[in-house]
Amino acid sequence: MATQPNVDLLKQYIQTLIAPEAIFPGITPRHFENEFSRTELEAIYFCLTFVVKQANPVKHQALISSFKRVHKPNLAMHWFLAAFWRQLISIIYIYSFQSKHFYLPMN
């Protein structure tokens, strides 16, 4: 059974803690008293690894090399997202489209 990355959770993290305005239609930010759990942060990191793999190696060279220094879902991941969230938005939209339209279940 293939594991699908939770793109909506990554979007919610960016929407809640990084982006100053609403950027993802249908994704509502969390209230500050409702923190992201360790399991959710691990799922966000897992999704982020898939999204970064979709990045153009020439156009997003700085993004890719910076992500190589993020080894787990910790403060480094947060600062990476804070620095590159604008570039990640376009990659997330492309990744979301591809995963919805070209995903083949592996049975």
Task: Look at residue 8 in the predicted model and tell me its pLDDT.
Answer: 92
**How does pLDDT run across 79-98, given as a tens digit for each residue?**
999 999 999 999 998 877 66
**How does pLDDT run across 42-69, given as a tens digit for each residue?**
999 999 999 999 999 999 999 999 999 9
pTM for this predicted structure: 0.83
Please spell the DSSP secondary structure of 31-88, one letter per residue: PTTSPPPHHHHHHHHHHHHHHHHTS-TTTTHHHHHHHTT--SSSHHHHHHHHHHHHHH
Q: Where are the domains of the chain?
A: 7-101
List the structure tokens of 97: 């489209």
Q: What is the mean pLDDT of the chain?
A: 86
Measured between alpha carbons, how far is residue 27 from residues 8, 16, 24 in Å? Answer: 7, 9, 6
